[in-house]
A = this chain, B = another copy of it.
Amino acid sequence: MYITDIDTKMKFLHGFSNKSRVLILESIKEEEKTVSQIIDELGISQSSISQHLACLRGCGLIVGRQEGKYMYYRVRNKLVRDLLTNFDTVLEDIHENVHGCQNHIDEKEADHVG
């Protein structure tokens, strides 16, 4: 089996390391959408969405097609779609064991522990 080098892998995985990006991926997982639709749906600023879309393109996770003045984005292919589904499958199984990575636990959350 061909093993892609770790740096390429990290660039790819970077796509999943931010909440806005993951929400975008989920939003366009099953159907392509215009940038405006994504903005409206997620309530994230135009600039931020645009930057994240550029990022996701660079990660190889999504593709865009222009139609007039609209830009339609969708998840690249079935493999990526299946990977997104796989996240949910694993999470369903292990979610009770997910407590967050040390440095991430901020006041808000620390409060309602116990």
Kindly list chain B residues whose C-beta atoms are within 8 Å of the C-beta of A88.
1, 3-4, 9
Q: Using A1-B88, A9-B87, A87-B13 as known contacts, say yes or no to A77 and B94 having CB atoms under 8 A apart.
A: yes
How many A residues face the partner with a CB closer than 8 A?
52
Residue A97 lies at the interface, judged by CB distance under 8 Å to chain B: yes
A residues near B, CB below 8 A? 1-4, 6-17, 19, 22-23, 51, 54-56, 58-61, 76-77, 79-80, 82-83, 86-104
Give A92's nearest chain B residue, CB to CB: B2
Query: Could you list 14 examples of A-B contacts with CB < 8 Å?
Result: A2-B92, A6-B19, A10-B19, A11-B98, A12-B98, A13-B16, A13-B22, A54-B101, A54-B102, A55-B103, A60-B94, A76-B94, A82-B86, A83-B86
B92 lies within 8 A of A4 (CB):
yes
The complex places the Cα of A100 from the Cα of B7 at a distance, in Å, of 9
CB distance from A11 to the nearest CB of B (A): 4
The complex places the Cα of A52 from the Cα of B7 at a distance, in Å, of 18
Kindly list chain B residues whose C-beta atoms are within 8 Å of the C-beta of A13.
16-17, 22, 87
